[in-house]
Structure 1
Amino acid sequence: MKFFPENAALWGKPSQSSTYAGSEPEFALDGLLNSWTHTNEETNPWWRVDLLKVYRVNRVTITNRPSNADRINGAVIRIGNFLDIYSNTICGVISTLAASATATFSCGGMVGRYMVVHIPGNQKILSLVEAGVYGTLAGPAQALLVP
């Protein structure tokens, strides 16, 4: 089993539901604390990273932006093998996260190719400064589950 102490998301492909003013989904993986992703105000905004391989995810880290920090409140973190957000398993919920703070969520070895952060509801904006996914490559049996 190969353990990845580094952020597996760095080798993945990020995307988001929409992009506001050039705040691209890649900004959550650039290692910089002065850039962040930003969706338009919309219903159920999301940010997703395709890890390109199936992982057994031990933990996820999320770093919040320095301004308008309350926008991330209520965000849901999911791990799974499905492009459909709601088909993936919930790893954690961000009830509150202070400005510029980083939170760690234990995912207990959930298996998946995708890590998704989304905020349920109307007129929501999702912004992330950084996102991390840490774990091990899943075995061949789990890899076959990828649709």
Structure 2
Amino acid sequence: LSAITVHVLALYTLLLLLFMCVAMEPPEMKLCHLNLALRGRATQSSLYPLGIPINAIDGNRDTDYGQGSCSHTQDNFSPWWRLDLLKTYKVVSVIEIRIGNSLDSNGNNNPMCAVVSHIAGGLTETFQCNGMEGHYVNIVIPGRKEFLTLCEVEVSPPDPCWAF
């Protein structure tokens, strides 16, 4: 996985994570993008009406919750969302984001890639994870009672132009 980009919206604690990468494909220099999240399985700590976990990996980047393309937890303590990539991938770039192979504590005990302290609404940030490997990508707001809403999560391998 090469990049995880975080977008935050103003409604509640809305987190939109875009995990994306663009690579040059020699020799034609075509841009290519492989979103592993579309092949994965999502789950989360609780359900808010219409905010099912799979909405965050539906390929729709619409950030309007009312359009039905965002996941959303209840207002609970340490809310989390998890993506099962169905196999282990290397993570180069990537809120507290944890990546690993363990499901202990719902995956929230995996090694930490990044902590997102604040991102203003509508802005984007990318966090480097320096080649961490993992089967699961967890997004958690630790130690606080909050809502967690994700409008799109995209996950790309280090070389999105390879086929498998």
TM-score normalized by the length of structure 1: 0.74
Q: Deviation at 1:131? A: 1.5
Change (3 A) 1:101 1:27: farther
Aligned residues: 121
Distance in 2 (alpha carbons) for counterparts of 1:47 and 1:136: 23
2:51 counterpart of 1:23? yes
2:146 counterpart of 1:117? no
Stretches of structure 1 that go unaligned for 5 or more consecutive residues are: 61-74, 138-147
Stretches of structure 2 that go unaligned for 5 or more consecutive residues are: 1-22, 24-31, 160-164
Q: Compute the RMSD of aligned alpha carbons.
A: 2.0
2:127 counterpart of 1:105? yes
Q: Deviation at 1:124? A: 1.4
Same amino acid, percent of matched pairs: 43
Distance in 2 (alpha carbons) for counterparts of 1:133 and 1:92: 15
In the alignment, which residue of structure 2 is the partner of 1:81?
101
Larger radius of gyration: 2
1:4-83 matches, within 5 Å, as 5-30=33-58, 31-33=60-62, 34=64, 35-60=69-94, 75-83=95-103
Given that 2:108 and 2:140 are in contact with CA atoms closer than 8 Å, whether structure 1 keeps it comes out as no
Given that 1:16 and 1:25 are in contact with CA atoms closer than 8 Å, whether structure 2 keeps it comes out as yes
Given that 2:108 and 2:138 are in contact with CA atoms closer than 8 Å, whether structure 1 keeps it comes out as no
Partner AA of 1:46 in structure 2:
W
